[in-house]
Chain A
Amino acid sequence: GAVVSQHPSRVICKSGTSVKIECRSLDFQATTMFWYRQFPKQSLMLMATSNEGSKATYEQGVEKDKFLINHASLTLSTLTVTSAHPEDSSFYICSARIQGLYGYTFGSGTRLTVV
C-alpha cells in the first residue's frame, strides 16, 4: 500500500522547453507532497512542499516561476520545469508522508537531462 507513481522516469529535453513531472498517490490521499532534487554524488535536497488546494512553499534559492508546482487534487501533484537549462539536469523525486510503519513513501524519481 501507499504507493506514489511518478512519471516520466527519464526525460531528455532541449534547452528552453518545459517538462512536466507527475506524482500520483495510488491508494491514499496525499495532502502534502515534498519535491526533492538530487545532483550527482549529493544528498537529496528539498525544493518545495506542495499542498493540496493551496500555493506551494519553496525553499530558499528555488525559483518558483521556474519550478511550477500544482497540487490540484489529493492524488496528483505536478512539477513543471519551465524554460529548462542544462544546469536543471538532475534527479527529481517526490515523497509523501504516510501512516504506518515507514512514515514516508517515495516516487520512483525522474532523471531529467537538458541538452
Chain B
Amino acid sequence: KNEVEQSPQNLTAQEGEFITINCSYSVGISALHWLQQHPGGGIVSLFMLSSGKKKHGRLIATINIQEKHSSLHITASHPRDSAVYICAAPRSQGNLIFGKGTKLSVKP
C-alpha cells in the first residue's frame, strides 16, 4: 500500500462542474501539499496545509488530520484547469512522497 493514495485516478468533467479529488495518507505529517502538474511536466505548488481549510480563487483544500484525509475542490471548473493534481506528504528527511496523481480533463 502506498503511503499516499489518491482518488480518482482519472476524472472527466464538463465545464462549470464542481470537482473533488481525495487524498489519504498513512504517514504522520506536519503538512500536506497539493500540486498541479501541467502536460509539459512542470509542477506548481497549490497549497500547503496542516489543518482546516485554505482557499485560493476557485480552489479549496481541506484536511482532517485525525482521519489522515485531504480533499482538493475546484469550483466552476474550466478547461484550463485540465492537469494532473498530486497530493504529497513530507518525509522527516525533507523530501516529499507523492500520490500517483489525478488526471483531470475539463471539457468545454
Name B's A-contacting residues (CB within 8 A).
Answer: 2, 31, 33, 35, 40-45, 47-48, 86, 90, 93-101
Q: Which of A1-43 touch B at CB < 8 Å?
A: 9, 32, 34, 38, 42-43
Question: Bound complex: CA of A102 vs CA of B13, how far in Å?
Answer: 27
A105 touches B45 (CB 8 A): yes
A103 touches B41 (CB 8 A): no
CB pair A43–B101 under 8 Å, yes or no, is: yes
By DSSP majority rule, is chain A's interface helix, strand, loop, or mixed? strand
Could you tell me if A34 and B95 are in contact, using CB atoms closer than 8 angstroms?
yes
Interface size class of A (residues with CB under 8 A): 20 to 34
Q: Does A67 contact B (CB under 8 A)?
A: no
CB atoms of A103 and B86 under 8 A apart: no
Complex: how many Å from CA A75 to CA B91?
Answer: 23
Complex interface: chain B residues within 8 A of A44 (CB): 86, 96, 98
Residues of A within 8 A of B48 (CB): 101-104
Using A93-B43, A105-B45 as known contacts, say yes or no to A46 and B86 having CB atoms under 8 A apart.
Answer: no
Most chain A CB neighbours (cut-off 10 Å) among B47, B90, B98, B99 = B98
In the complex, what distance in Å separates the CA atom of A104 from the CA atom of B45? 7
Known: A42-B100, A43-B101, A104-B48. 4 other contacts (CB 8 A): A38-B41, A43-B86, A93-B41, A108-B41
Given contacts A43-B99, A43-B100, contact A32 B94 (CB under 8 A): yes
